[in-house]
Amino acid sequence: MREVRVRFAPSPTGALHLGGVRTALFNYLFARKHNGKFILRIEDTDQTRFVPGAEEYIIKSLAWIGLDIDESDIVGGEYGPYKQSNRKHLYTKYAQQLVNDGFAYYAFDTPEDLEVMRKDLEAKKSSIQSYGPATRMSMKNSLTLGEEKTKQLLDENVPYVIRFKMPENEKLVLKDIIRGEIKADTSLLDDKVLYKSDGMPTYHLANIVDDHLMKISHVIRGEEWLPSLPLHYLLYRSFGWLDTMPEFAHLPLILKPDGKGKLSKRDGDRLGFPVFPLHWEDPKTGEVSKGYEEAGYFPEAFLNMMALLGWNPGNNSTQEIFTKEELCKIFTLENVHKAGSKFDPEKNKWFNKQYLELKPNEELAEYFIEDAKKDGVTVDKAKAAKLCGLVKDRCHFSHDLWKESKYFFVAPTEYNEANKKKFWKPESEDLMNKSIEILKQTEDFSSKNLENIFTDWINNNQLSFGKVLNPMRLLLAGECKGPHIFDILEELGKEESIRRIETGIKNI
Ligand code: GLU
């Protein structure tokens, strides 16, 4: 295989969405698997869609996920600049070359001319709706005007575009690594604009020229670009670059969690999950969107869940937890599916939970201490780590650790209504008063000892565990959830436990 050089080529038109993240990730994994290069190229030729801050956001997001870049304007590289607006000087010559070789032509049609063409085709109910082989000869371009008139218009600085001259009636059979053969009929394609007289190339021209100059070996991108593949192939052919043309792989769509169609930002808003990796504030609308980072996802978990959107390890393996390093070893484009991949927000939470459970309590303690601080509570590391150990199997996110433990520091002032209805019975007050007596007499307040003492008492008096321990838990924590109740008692200590039960009896 030739040296693997792949690029992630986002346009800075907004926050990086999940489809973009997945494209970046698969490019990265492919590069690492083949000891190749992962390149970041910013495709900002469409200045009308430029959004300030978007480029920085993309770079920050890739860093958060842990996708280190081998070549870009920031890290450098032999093939820079890596931002298309800084490569403007390069494209003119290539557009010119296509015109000179008869593969492209100048078109001087005004927006009004194009509108007339569109209306005319509509009135004729033509199956062709665009500027292309069937319509170009009735338009204002260098093919119909002739060389002299064209030169005159160019000299007069009449605005123009350069269009690709789509061959008529050619049947193409192209190759996609994921999808196999892709057939296309050029008579159904149009003469795309490649270059505008303001000196800016369009996406198609810039993309092909840059992939060629940057020696890109594989183009891995979203399915929405599949319809452009025939044009891209024809551009390589017209330039005489077929021998070094990259291989193509078009990734499947990420689908809505419910219903059909592509996952959109609206689905996230509607169903309450983030669609961007990091916090994003839209500079135009001021709309603020929470990212996976703020939602409490660990970058490793986020990377893991994204990797499985459209890829699996094959061989009927059911493994779902993969480190980045592991993925870099086993990722193949052959194991990417053709079919769209349903986005599953619940499963994503599960992924995060797996990573949370694997993390050492000392590491989780850092999050715990930070969140406690926000509530004005100072906790030392050893205690934070111990509590993380107690509550972590109930948590999906780092923020849950403090939420689930807050009652260890702050006595409840309210009691969960539903729990109260279910567990606070006429005999509860008496049982709690008796429990207070037992607690008062207990010297060794370790979880184990407390468990032995209460077990004996409950058994010897034909009481049930639920009848004693549920109301006790309610008074200690404000609701009936949390770790083992004797661990809670030990953690709170004798004095505080008794105080909470006494206060609870009065206030509930
Ligand atoms: N700039 C294009 C995008 O934003 C890149 C498409 C490609 O990878 O060729 O999706």
Tell me which residue has tokens 């924590």: 477
Q: Which two tokens stand for residue 285?
A: 């609308």
User: Where are the chain's structural domains?
Assistant: 1-73+252-358, 89-196, 360-408, 417-507
Helix pair angle (381-391, 485-492), 10° resolution: 160
In order, the DSSP letters of 149-160 are: HHHHHHHTT---
Q: Which two tokens stand for residue 299?
A: 């970058």
Tell me which residue has tokens 């590491």: 363
* Best residue among 225, 231, 233 to mutate for probing ligand 1, ranked by most atoms within 8 Å of CB: 225
Is 89-196 a domain of CATH 3.40.50.2000?
no
Using the mean position of ligand 1's atoms as its centre, give its distance from the Cα of residue 423 in Å: 59
Instruction: Decide whether any atom of ligand 1 lies within 6 Å of the 202 Cβ.
Output: no
Q: Is the peptide bond before 81 cis (omega within 30 degrees of 0)?
A: yes
How many C-beta atoms lie closer than 10 Å to residue 493's C-beta?
11
* Fold matches, 360-408 and 417-507: no
Question: Could you tell me the fold of the domain covering 1-73+252-358?
Answer: Rossmann fold (3.40.50)
Tell me the C-alpha distance between 404 and 473, whole Å. Answer: 14
Using the mean position of ligand 1's atoms as its centre, give its distance from the Cα of residue 217 in Å: 15
Q: Which CATH number fits domain 360-408: 1.10.3470, 1.10.8, 1.20.950, 3.40.720?
A: 1.10.8
Tell me the C-alpha distance between 205 and 211, whole Å. Answer: 10
The pLDDT profile of the chain, 508 residues, written as one tens digit per residue, is 799 999 999 999 999 999 999 999 999 999 999 999 999 999 999 888 999 999 999 999 999 999 999 999 999 999 999 999 999 999 999 999 999 999 999 999 999 999 999 999 999 888 877 999 999 999 999 999 999 999 999 999 999 999 999 999 999 999 999 999 999 999 999 999 999 988 899 999 999 999 999 999 999 999 999 999 999 999 999 999 999 999 999 999 999 999 789 999 999 999 999 999 999 999 999 999 999 999 999 999 999 999 999 999 998 999 999 999 999 999 999 999 999 999 999 999 999 999 999 999 999 999 999 999 999 999 999 999 999 999 999 999 999 999 999 999 999 999 999 999 999 999 999 999 999 999 999 999 999 999 999 999 999 999 999 999 999 999 999 999 889 999 999 999 999 999 999 999 999 9
Instruction: Decide whether any atom of ligand 1 lies within 6 Å of the 9 Cβ.
Output: yes
Question: Could you tell me the fold of the domain covering 417-507?
Answer: Arc Repressor Mutant, subunit A (1.10.10)
pLDDT tens digits for range 238-258: 999 999 999 999 999 999 999
Q: Which residues are catalytic?
A: 265
Tell me the C-alpha distance between 449 and 155, whole Å. Answer: 97
